[in-house]
Structures are given as C-alpha cells and as structure tokens.
C-alpha cells in the first residue's frame, strides 16, 4: 500500500465513551466484519481477552484495518481507563491522527483532557468525534460548548446532527451543507433536503468553519471580505493543513449503535486525515531519520504481548523504508533480529504479509528480546527513537504464590508481565522480604494477576505492602558498650564509648572517629562502626531501622591478647543498647506527595478526604475545567487511593503519587504501630 493511501488513527478517550463500539461500527460498515460487534454482548473482535469480555471494557490496545475506497485505515483502539493509559500513549506514537472520542451524554472527562495534552506534546494532529448521540440526555450543543471551553476556540464542527436522543435521524455535512438521513440498519446515509430544524445551526457552523479557514491565509481572508467564499477543495485542504499544525480541531458526530455518521467518519479520515509521510519525525536520542519509503528501514515497537499460540508478539510502526519478511534488522542496543514472520492484526486474528512499508502497522512473532519502546533499524544504523514516556505506577501490592512450589513460576510470570507492560514495576523489597507488584490502579493489578493465572497457571495471594517505617532519636546520650567473654583459652574483650546525637531529617547515618592516643587500635574501629550500624538496623522501638543518627566513638579499651574484630563489633552493638533508653526514640513514617486532578465539583470531597487521611493540602490550581490539588499524605493512608478516588469521583479523577520525605508519626498512631510490630515479632 502506498503511504499516501494509509490512515493510522488512534481512538482516544475516557473509559466508556464508546471507542470500541465506534471501531466495531467502522469495521462493519466498511465490510471488514459481517456483523456489528458488541462490547455488551461479548462479540467485539477488538475486546477479545477473557478479562475484557467479562468486564465489558477495553483493557489493552487492539489494532484492526478497514479498506475504504482504495484507502487503508488502521484503527488503534486504546483503552480509556486511567489504569491502562500506558497503551493509550503507545497508540499515539504509532498513529498519524488522534481521534478523541467524547460521549454526548457525559461530555469531556478527565482522562480525555490528560491524553489531549500528551497528544499535543507528541505533535499528533487531533480531531474529535461525538458519540452516543442517540442516548438519553445526549446533547450536541452542550458537549460542543464544553469542547470549546476545554480545548479552545479552534474546535470546529464539520458535521451537525439531525435530532438527538431517540429522535436522532442523521447528520449534515457543514462544508457542503448536505443533509443525510439514516434508515434503521442502513450502513450509509441517504441525501435529503436540509431540515428547517437545523438550518440555522448548520449555517452558523458553516460560517464559523469558513472563518477558521480564511484566518489561516491572508489572500483567502481578503477574498472573503469581498464576498468570495473558498470552495470545498480549498476548505478541505486548509482544514487538513490546520490539523497538521494543531490550528484546527474538527468535530464529527456519530451513533455507533444506529450506524449514524460511520460512513462519513471514514470519508473524513480519507479526505481530511494526515498520511504517514506527513508525520513529524519522532524524538530521537541518536542518529537522524527521514520519513521516506526509500530510506533504510526504521521501525518503533509500540507494544508487545504474549500469545498462547505464537509466543511473544511485537507490534511496530514503520517510520522509514520497507521491511521484507526474513529481513535481518538490528534491535537498538540488543543485537540482531530476524523478522521471520510478518503479519497484520485484526483483533486477535493474524494475516501474514510479505513486506511492510513506511507508515504501515504490523507485528512480528518470537523476537523475544524486543520491548515496547525499542527501535528496529537497518544493521549499522545509529537511529534510536526515544521511547514514549509512560505514567508512573501509583498503587502497590505484595504478591506471593499460594503454593511454595510455584515461586519460580511466579517470578518468571511477573518478569514476562513487566516486559509486555512498561507501566508495571516489579520490586523485591529486602527490608520486608516482600515481592512488590506496582501498577496504575487496582483494576490494572487485578487484570495483570488474572492474566498470570490464565497464561502461567499460577495462583497468587496478595496483601497491602508493609509500610517501611523508620525510627530516629531526639536526644543526645553517651554510653559504654562492653563485651567481655572468658571461657578458658583466649577470651574476647572490647569496650567502646559512643556518643549518639540526632541529625537533620534525611541525613542518614554518620560515624565519627574521635579516638585519641590509641585507646582502640585503628584496625578495630571499623568493627565498632559495623556493630553500631547492625544494632541501629534492628531498631530501638519496634524493629524498624534507626536513621538520622551521628555516632561519635570517643573512647574505649582493648586487651593485647583477647581483643579482636568480633569483640569490638559486639561492643558497638552493646553501646547502642546501653544508650537506647536515653535517646528518646520516635517513629517516622513515609510521607507521599499526592497530585490529584478532578472536576471542580469534586474539589470539596477530595480536600475533606485528604484531611481525614492526616494529609496536608499544599495548594490548589486550575487547569482548564480541572482542579489540581497538591498534598502531603502519609503512605499508610494512600495505599488504596486508586479505589478511594474512583469512588469519590465516579472514575473521573486521576492522581500521581511519589515518595517525598519521612515525618514523625503522631503519638497515638505511633503507639498502635509499635504495639502491632511487637506482637508480630513475639
């Protein structure tokens, strides 16, 4: 397929806005499927994983292709829920157009705003499509006003619906002012006279679109003032160029259920949509890249996944040249790979191809060392495409196999899951002995574990991770640590006098050697330090490591025969124990920096909840129609914040969380934690 006839379109939007239903409608109307797939009925070819069928939502990126009047439209159906936003970002890197799907019932939601910003940073042209116009409470005018409020005055409708809710009949193309009515079950609209009920709305939308067009060109503006309106070809060309520059954001209208506007959406993508040669060069960390069919092959791996029949599948977008089957390419930084079998994906179905050219989206199996974000290139090339930035995990769980025999199997399964999903993080936490699985929310983690159980047969037990509390001291004290042991033969003897002092928060541990006159021989002083560090690691109050302490070794005694390293290590341990009662130890807890993004009406609930969680609001900002709340909250209070926030905002809020600092635990809370720790260790 020549690149000029390819359209790569990512469907982006909040969960539940109708992206997959829209994609299924496109497949059906274009003849790629023989029946209209349904998410609700579990017959969607794009939501095919068992977990997707069960939950009736998209959980991962799916790709399908439709042919429309000699053009190839590659649809990248991205999940909309924040828990799976890594795949939405991956779709943007592979696409030439981001089609933002907005429900005419629910309007612009938080995830849509966030991904709009990501698309702008990526330099991807954007358009909007209004869905669910046949549903109760759907409103074209209300949703359009909100789009303009959130995304700016460059939002320009190129279609207007005829009727809405149950009275939805069809649409009007704003450029030509032609009206189309859709009979029940019909895949295409029939041209009819412009209804009086929408004539005024269409005329005003036409005028607004023409004014947006002429504003981009002085000659067009001058002619317009003289009463000459640009013709259809000029409007299409100018809107197309405006999309490429991020100056015009067209709005289309649809109902996937009633098949209204699906044919005109396909025509819009063909007529107005960017082709792969118009894609800006993605960010590079080395080398240079020209997007051309004649250049050396360069491709970007945007997603990897495990297939039970063919093994690891790597999905990629070609940015330069042509890749034939069996080509030997270089995986940047990780050796050579052979592209043994190339195929296109239609949901879970595969169609083998002999080669893929610039702008095409394809997949290859069994390139086991490929990861999402990797660059495939001609051998000897130095081109490296910068990986798409991924969201940081916000929720952690501790995982362990139900059967001890499955420990190794679980370790392998977790590693494979993290390789396929760059938004997952696996960590072995030495201080608690736990394996931590971190992701973008509870749904993300639940789905990951369900896939592990299905693909690897490993049943997993989960729990909230133990909080990494710390202890510190608030007073200065001096103590003598003495170790003396005599049991026949050579004994053990070491005395260390140590002064302990508190240090500023975050300082860690400092050892000061103030020995004068050889009271302790030089070779034994490191042993004293080692003993002190060992004892502090064991804790004073509740078994948590003691931090922000200075230990000054000021005096000691030794025996020429009985003293050795072990004796002075034990003396260091005894010095800590002897000083402990006078050091006034306190418990410290990790404090997280929380950034919450919510609709304005949820602000009060979020603030109240942060206060109830012993948090401190640092500030509130406004970003479009969204409130951004910054706060410090104890880690113990936000371990399940993904669940809390979804409940408070009906899924419309998003957040980020990162460790900030340690802080003293309030007395009453500290007593409870210390008591629980002592009970566990007894």
Q: Find the distance separating the first CA and the last CA of the chain, reported in whole Å.
A: 71
Helix %, strand %, coil % of the chain (to 5)? 35, 30, 35
**CATH number of 421's domain:** 3.30.70.870
Q: Tell me what percent of the residues of the chain surpass a pLDDT of 90.
A: 74
Given phi > 0 = left and psi -120 to 50 = alpha, else beta, which region is 565? Answer: alpha
Same domain, 100 and 20: yes
Same-domain status, 33 and 161: yes
Q: What is the number of other CB atoms lying within 10 angstroms of the CB of residue 291?
A: 20
Write out the two tokens for 480: 């003598």
| CA-wise closest residue to 132 among 106, 156, 95, 114 | 106
Q: Which of 527, 560, 583 is the last residue of a domain?
A: 583
* pLDDT value, residue 369: 85
pLDDT, tens digit (0-9, with 9 covering 90-100), for 368-408? 888 999 999 999 999 999 999 998 899 999 999 998 888 88
- Which comes out higher in pLDDT, residue 619 or 333? 619
Q: What is the pLDDT of residues 199-249, one digit of tens each?
A: 999 999 999 899 888 888 888 888 888 888 888 899 999 999 999 999 899
Does residue 455 sit within a domain?
A: yes
- CA dist 532 and 540 (Å) reads 12
pLDDT digits (tens, 9 = 90+) for 40-72: 888 899 988 888 888 888 889 999 999 999 999
* pLDDT for position 49: 85
- Residue 625 pLDDT exceeds 80: no
State how far the Cα of 332 lies from the Cα of 322, in Å rounded to an integer: 18
User: Residue 271 sits in a domain of what CATH number?
Assistant: 3.40.50.300
DSSP H or E segment with residue 529: helix 525-538
- Residues 231 and 108 reside in one and the same domain: yes
d(CA 101, CA 99) in angstroms, rounded, equals 6
Report helix, strand or coil for 250: strand
598 and 571 fall within a common domain: no
Taking the C-alpha atoms of residue 95 and residue 380, their distance in angstroms, rounded to an integer, is 27
pLDDT of residue 308: 66
* Tokens coding 543: 């078994």
pLDDT at residue number 213: 86
Within a domain: residue 499? yes
Whole-angstrom Cα distance, residue 54 to residue 343? 28
* Res 169 pLDDT > 90: yes
pTM of the shown model: 0.85
What local confidence, expressed as pLDDT, does residue 507 receive? Answer: 93
Same domain, 140 and 274: yes
Q: Are residues 207 and 353 in the same domain?
A: no
Does some domain include residue 134? Answer: yes
pLDDT of residue 284: 95
Q: From the CB of residue 335, how many other CB atoms can be counted at a distance below 10 Å?
A: 8
**Domain CATH for 655:** 3.30.70.240
Q: Give the pLDDT mean for 340-349.
A: 91
Specify whether 505 is located in the same domain as 595. no
The average pLDDT across 427-436 equals 89
Average pLDDT score over the chain = 93
Both 239 and 290 in a single domain?
no
What pLDDT, in 10s, does the model give residues 275-319?
999 999 999 999 999 999 999 999 999 999 877 677 789 999 999
Same-domain pairing of 578 and 436:
no
Which of 620, 575, 589 shows the shortest CA–CA distance to 602?
Answer: 620
Of 385, 403, 435, which closes a domain? Answer: 385
Tokens, residue 588? 């410290």
Do 110 and 75 lie in one domain? The reply is yes
Q: Taking a C-beta distance cutoff of 8 angstroms, is the pair 274, 96 a contact?
A: yes
Number of domains in the chain: 5
CATH classification of the domain holding 494: 3.30.230.10
DSSP state of 106: T
> Average pLDDT for residues 60-85, to the nearest whole number?
94
* Residue 225 falls inside a structural domain: yes
The CA distance from 509 to 458, in Å, is 42
Strand partners, 658: 593
- pLDDT for res 680: 81
- Contact criterion met (CB below 8 Å) for 78 and 61: yes
Question: In sequence order, which residues have a C-beta less than 8 Å from that of residue 470 and are 6 or more positions away?
Answer: 544, 545, 546, 547, 587, 588, 589, 662
| DSSP 3-state of 87 | helix
- Residues 588 and 659: their CA atoms lie apart, in Å, by 14
Given pLDDT bands bounded at 50, 70 and 90, which one contains residue 434?
very high
- The pLDDT of residue 403 is 86
> Token match 């619906």: residue?
161
Question: Which contacts qualify for 448-456: CB closer than 8 Å, 24 or more apart?
Answer: 448/417, 448/421, 448/424, 449/399, 450/50, 450/51, 451/49, 451/51, 451/417, 452/410, 452/413, 452/414, 452/417, 454/50, 455/306, 455/308, 455/413, 456/409, 456/410, 456/412, 456/413, 456/416
pLDDT reading at 359 higher than 90? yes
Other residues' Cβ atoms within 10 Å of the Cβ of residue 9: 25
For 117-134, the pLDDT digits (tens) are 999 999 999 999 999 999
Of 531 and 405, the structure prediction assigns the larger pLDDT to: 531
Residue 408: CB partners within 8 Å, gap ≥ 6? none
CATH number at residue 379: 2.40.30.10
Domain that holds residue 651: 588-681
Contact partners, residue 512, CB within 8 Å, separation at least 6: 550, 551, 552, 553
Half-sphere exposure in the Cβ direction for 118 (13 Å, CA) = 25
- 69 CB-side CA count, 13 A: 8
Looking at the DSSP bridge assignments, the partners of residue 75 are: 9, 64
CB atoms within 10 A of CB 189: 23
Q: Are strands 6-12 and 71-77 parallel, antiparallel or unpaired?
A: parallel
The last residue of a domain, from among 353, 385, 417: 385
User: What pLDDT, on a 0 to 100 scale, did the predictor assign at position 142?
Assistant: 96
One domain for residues 10 and 72: yes
Q: What is the pLDDT of residue 216?
A: 81
Q: Is 533 part of a structural domain of the chain?
A: yes
Question: Is residue 614, in this structure, part of any structural domain at all?
Answer: yes
Give pLDDT, residue 34.
92
Q: Which residues of 202-240 are buried (b: 16+ CB within 10 A; e: fewer)?
A: beebbeebbebbbbeeeebeeebeeeeebeeebbbebbb
For the chain, give the percent of residues with pLDDT over 70: 99
455-469: pLDDT as tens digits: 888 989 999 999 999
Yes or no: say if 39 and 56 are a contact pair by the CB < 8 Å rule: yes
CA angle, residues 100, 358, 79, in degrees to nearest 5: 30
| Mean of pLDDT values over 501-530 | 94
pLDDT at site 579 = 97
Closest to 312 measured CA to CA, from 270, 364, 372? 364
Task: Phi first, then psi: give them for residue 385, nearest 5 degrees.
Answer: -85, 130
The pLDDT value given to residue 489: 67
Here the tokens at position 296 are: 């050396």
More confident position, 673 or 306 = 673
In angstroms, the CA 222 to CA 218 distance is: 6
Is 390 inside a domain boundary?
A: no
Whether residue 362 is found in the same domain as residue 402 = no
For residues 66-91, average pLDDT: 94
Query: pLDDT tens, 551-600?
Result: 999 999 999 888 999 999 999 999 999 999 999 999 999 999 999 999 88
pLDDT at 89: 95
- pLDDT band at residue 682 using 50, 70 and 90 as cut-offs: low
Q: Are 234 and 213 in contact (CB under 8 A)?
A: yes
| 458 lies in some domain | yes
Query: What confidence tier does 633 reach under pLDDT thresholds 50, 70, 90?
Result: very high
């Amino acid at each position: 397929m020549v690149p000029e006839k390819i359209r790569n379109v990512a469907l982006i939007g909040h969960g539940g806005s109708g992206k997959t239903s829209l994609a299924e409608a496109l497949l059906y109307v274009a003849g790629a499927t023989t029946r209209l797939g349904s998410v609700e009925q579990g017959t969607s070819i794009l939501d095919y994983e068992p977990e997707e069928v069960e939950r009736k939502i998209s959980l991962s990126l799916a790709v399908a292709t439709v042919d429309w009047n000699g053009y190839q439209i590659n649809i990248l159906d991205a999940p909309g829920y924040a828990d799976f936003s890594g795949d939405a970002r991956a779709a943007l890197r592979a696409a030439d157009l981001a089609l933002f799907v907005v429900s005419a019932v629910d309007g612009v939601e938080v995830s849509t705003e966030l991904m709009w910003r990501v698309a702008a940073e990526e330099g991807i042209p954007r358009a909007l499509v209004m869905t669910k116009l046949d549903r109760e409470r759907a409103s074209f005018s209300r949703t359009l006003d909100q789009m303009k409020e959130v995304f700016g005055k460059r939002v320009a409708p190129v279609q207007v619906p005829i009727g809405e809710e149950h009275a939805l009949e069809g649409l009007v193309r704003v450029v030509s002012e032609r009206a189309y009515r859709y009979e029940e079950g019909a895949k295409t609209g029939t041209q009819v006279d412009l209804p009086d009920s929408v004539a005024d709305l269409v005329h005003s939308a036409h005028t607004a679109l023409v004014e947006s067009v002429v504003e981009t060109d002085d000659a067009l503006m001058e002619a317009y003032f003289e009463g000459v309106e640009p013709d259809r070809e000029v409007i299409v060309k100018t809107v197309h160029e405006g999309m490429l520059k991020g100056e015009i954001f067209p709005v289309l209208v649809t109902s996937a259920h009633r098949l209204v506007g699906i044919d005109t959406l396909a025509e819009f993508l063909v007529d107005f949509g960017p082709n792969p040669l118009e894609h800006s060069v993605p960010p590079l960390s080395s080398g240079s890249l020209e997007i051309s069919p004649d250049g050396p092959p360069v491709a970007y791996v945007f997603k990897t996944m495990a297939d039970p029949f063919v093994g690891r599948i790597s999905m990629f977008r070609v940015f330069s040249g042509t890749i034939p089957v069996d080509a030997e390419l270089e995986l940047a930084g990780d050796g050579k790979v052979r592209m043994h079998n190339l195929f296109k994906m239609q949901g879970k179905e595969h169609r083998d191809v002999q080669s893929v050219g610039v702008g095409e989206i394809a997949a290859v199996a069994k390139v086991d060392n490929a990861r999402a974000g990797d660059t495939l290139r001609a051998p000897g090339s130095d081109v490296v495409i910068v990986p798409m930035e991924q969201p940081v995990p916000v929720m952690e769980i501790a995982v362990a196999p139900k059967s001890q025999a499955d420990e190794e199997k679980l370790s392998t399964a977790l590693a494979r899951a993290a390789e396929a999903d760059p938004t997952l993080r696996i960590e072995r936490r030495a201080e608690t002995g736990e394996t931590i699985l971190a992701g973008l929310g509870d749904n993300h983690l639940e789905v990951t574990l369900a896939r592990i159980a299905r693909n690897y047969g490993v049943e997993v037990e989960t729990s909230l991770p133990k909080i990494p509390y710390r202890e510190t001291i608030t007073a200065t004290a001096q103590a003598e640590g003495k170790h003396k042991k005599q049991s026949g033969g050579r004994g053990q003897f070491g005395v260390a006098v140590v002064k302990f002092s508190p240090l500023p928060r975050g300082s860690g541990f400092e050892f000061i050697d103030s020995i004068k006159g050889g009271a302790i021989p030089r070779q034994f002083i490191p042993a004293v330090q080692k003993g002190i560090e060992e004892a502090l690691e064991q804790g004073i109050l509740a078994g948590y490591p003691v931090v922000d302490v200075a230990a000054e070794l000021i005096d000691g005694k030794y025996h020429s025969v009985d003293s050795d390293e072990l004796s002075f290590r034990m003396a260091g341990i005894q010095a800590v124990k002897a000083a402990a009662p006078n050091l006034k130890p306190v418990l410290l807890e990790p404090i997280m920096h929380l950034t919450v993004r919510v609709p304005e009406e949820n602000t009060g609930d979020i603030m109240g909840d942060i206060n109830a969680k012993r948090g401190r609001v640092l500030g509130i900002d406004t970003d479009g129609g969204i409130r951004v709340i910054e706060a410090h909250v104890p880690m113990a209070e936000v371990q399940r914040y993904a669940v809390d926030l979804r409940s408070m905002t009906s899924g419309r809020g998003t957040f980020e969380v990162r460790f900030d600092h340690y802080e003293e635990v309030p007395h009453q809370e500290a007593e409870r934690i210390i008591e629980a720790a002592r009970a566990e260790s007894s």
